[in-house]
Amino acid sequence: MRIFGIDPGSDRTGYGCVETDGSRHCIVTCGAISAPPLSTFPDKLLRIHSRLTELIRDCHPDCVAIESLFHAMNVRSALTLGHARGVAMLAAVEAAVPVVEYTPAEIKRAVVGYGRAEKPQVQQMVKLLLGLTSAPAPHDAADALAVAICHAHSQRRGVGAAPSSVEGRRRPDTCDGDPERRPPTGGRHYRPARS
C-alpha cells in the first residue's frame, strides 16, 4: 500500500509518501511546500494545492492521510490552518484518492507510543521506522511521514476505510490503563464521490 501523508500549514506544508507492506515501511518521497515570503494568503493556498496535485499524481497513492486540527489552537490559527487543510483535501479528492484524518495525539501514539511525545521524539522514530541515516528535514516532512506511518499502523491493526463517505468510530477509553496510550482508531475517513 502506498500512503501519502500531509502535515498542513499555511506557511509550510509537509508531505511524505510511504510504501508499506504493513510491517515494513519504505520512503518514496518527502519534503515541504512553501510560497515566496511576500505571497498573499490566496497565493499560498494556490501553491499548496498545485504542488500537492502534482505530487499525488506522480506518487499514485492508495490513500492520503492528513493531520486534523488541534483543538487547543486559537481561532485565527485554526481558520488559517483549516484553509490549508481544505486545499490539501481537495487535491486528493480531485485525484479520486480516499482521505483519512488523524489527530496529533493519534499520530504520536502510533509512531512513538505516547500521545504527548515531543517533535524530536517523533522525528527520531520516523528515522528508525523508515531505516534512514538521519531524520527527514524539514520537520514538516518528518511530521507528514509520521501521518502516513500512523495510517499504515491503523491498517495493520485491521482498522480499514469506511464504505460510506464518512465514518465515526467510538474510541476505546484506555490502552493498558493509560488514556494517552490508546491505539489509533483509524481516524476519520472520506471517500471521493463517484461520478
Averaged pLDDT score across all residues of the chain? 83
Amino acid 69: pLDDT: 81
Quick one: average pLDDT of 58-70? 94
The strand order across the sheet containing 2-7 reads: 25-34, 12-20, 2-7, 63-67, 99-102, 188-190, 166-167
Residue type at position 139: H
**In angstroms, what CA-CA distances link 24 with 20, 29, 131?**
6, 16, 9
Q: Would residue 101 show up in a list of annotated catalytic residues for this protein?
A: no
In the structure, what pLDDT confidence band is assigned to residue 75 with cuts at 50, 70 and 90?
confident
CATH architecture label of 2-167+180-190: 2-Layer Sandwich (3.30)
Q: What angle do CA 15, 12, 14 make, to 5 degrees?
A: 15
Amino acid 70: pLDDT: 72
Residue type at position 20: T
Q: Would residue 67 show up in a list of annotated catalytic residues for this protein?
A: yes
Catalytic residue among 7, 101, 106, 143: 7
Amino acid 193: pLDDT: 57
Amino acid 164: pLDDT: 26
Amino acid 100: pLDDT: 97
Quick one: average pLDDT of 65-79? 83
Amino acid 85: pLDDT: 96
Q: Each residue of 13-29: pLDDT tens digit?
A: 999 999 998 789 999 99
For residue 2, the cross-strand partners are 19
Q: Would residue 54 show up in a list of annotated catalytic residues for this protein?
A: no
Domain boundaries, the chain: 2-167+180-190
For residue 29, the cross-strand partners are 17
**In angstroms, what CA-CA distances link 138 with 63, 161, 186?**
23, 30, 26
Amino acid 192: pLDDT: 59
In degrees rounded to 5, what are phi and psi of residue 36? -55, 145
Catalytic residue among 21, 106, 118, 140: 140
Catalytic residue among 21, 67, 106, 118: 67
